[in-house]
Amino acid sequence: MRIHKTALNTIIISTLVGLLALALGLFGLGMKFANGAQAAFAWGPLLLAILAALVVSFLFGWLRYGVSGALTLAVAVLHDQLLSLAMCAIYSLAFGLSGHAMPLLVAGLAFTYLFTVPVIRDARAQLMANPSLTREQAASQAVAAGRPLKVAVTLLSALVLLALAVGGNAQMYGSLLPLLSGLIAAALSSHLISPYIWAAGRPGRRRR
């Protein structure tokens, strides 16, 4: 399995963001909460939730799209959850997080599914419709074909976040940061990681 340079570079950048957040945490600057909201935050359930999401997504992907689809979905889930966690730690220096940070971080999974599932489905469909395509070409075509929908969903999600933020103060922004991080992470991974991870998968037996 050879992963494309773009995907590798994106994963490296995401890892750097994660390391920056980790360094901030080690220096006592990570994950700032407002008004005692840290009482509602626990690492145990959050990490358990990420692990469970990873396993369920892999199994779901495997059943629906085979091993390469399962790997793509699982990598996207892991990447998006960890990156949004890291982004939250960095943003929280400006806006303290709220007591709802933990569930809203996990809620970012909705964006991962909204953006990654169509890429996997469309890439498979492209490959089945035109067997002469390479997996990389199929993935690129899937990304291009899904762009209008992705733009529309991103815009709608951004408008939802804007509507929720309007009239609110720093406390409100702190509440919505995990969702915003989830949206950014999912938009990034579905464009720069998922297609290449799927393309790097071993070609399966094609249906006649």
Partner 1 sequence: MAKKTTHKKLTVNRKLVAVVTLLVALVLSIIFITLGFTGRQMDAQGLYKLLPWLPGPARQADWRQALVPGAGLGETWVSTFSPVGEEAPSQQLLDRAVDVLARRLNDLGWTDAAVQVKEGKLVAILPKAADTAYLNKLLAIPGEFTFTDPSGEVFMDGSQVSEAGFGFADQSGTNLALTLQFTAEGKQIFGSKSTELIGQSISLRRDGVVLVSPGISEPLTQGQVSIPGFNMESARENAVLLRSGALPFALELDGEGQPGRPLMGDRVQRTLLIALGILFLLVAAYFLVCYRLAGLLAAWMLALQVALSFFFAGLLGAGFTVLTLSAIMLGFVVTTFAILKLYLHMRTGLRRGRSLRQTLREGYATAGHAGLDVMVGLLLVSVVFIIMNLGLITVFCELFAITLLLGLVITQLLHRLLLNETIHLFGTKSSLYATTPTKKEA
When asked if residue 192 is in the footprint of partner 1 (CB under 8 A), the reply is no
CA distances to 139, 169, 197 from 123, in Å:
5, 42, 12
Concatenating the DSSP letter of every residue in 102-166 gives HHHHHHTHHHHHHHHHHHHHHHHHHHHH-TTS-HHHHHHHHHHHHHHHHHHHHHHHHHHHHHHHT
* Among the residue ranges 6-14, 17-25, 146-154, 193-201, the one whose residues contact partner 1 (CB under 8 A): 146-154
Binding mask 16-35 for partner 1 (x = CB under 8 A): ------------------xx
Which residues, at least 6 apart from 9, have a Cβ–Cβ distance to it below 8 Å? 192
Helices and strands, number each (H, E), in the chain:
7, 0
Helix, strand or coil, per DSSP, at residue 82: helix
Q: Which of 102, 142, 177, 180 binds partner 1 (CB under 8 A)?
A: 102
Binding mask 162-181 for partner 1 (x = CB under 8 A): xxx-xxxx-xx--xx--x--
Helix (H) or strand (E) holding 17: helix 5-26
Q: Which of 118, 184, 194, 195 binds partner 1 (CB under 8 A)?
A: 118
CB of 175 to partner 1, least distance (A): 5
When asked if residue 138 is in the footprint of partner 1 (CB under 8 A), the reply is no
User: Which spans of this chain sit near partner 1 (rule: CB under 8 A)?
Assistant: 34-40, 42, 45-46, 48-49, 52-53, 56-57, 60, 64, 73, 98-100, 102-104, 106-107, 109-110, 113-114, 117-118, 121, 125, 148-149, 152-153, 156-157, 159-160, 162-164, 166-169, 171-172, 175-176, 179
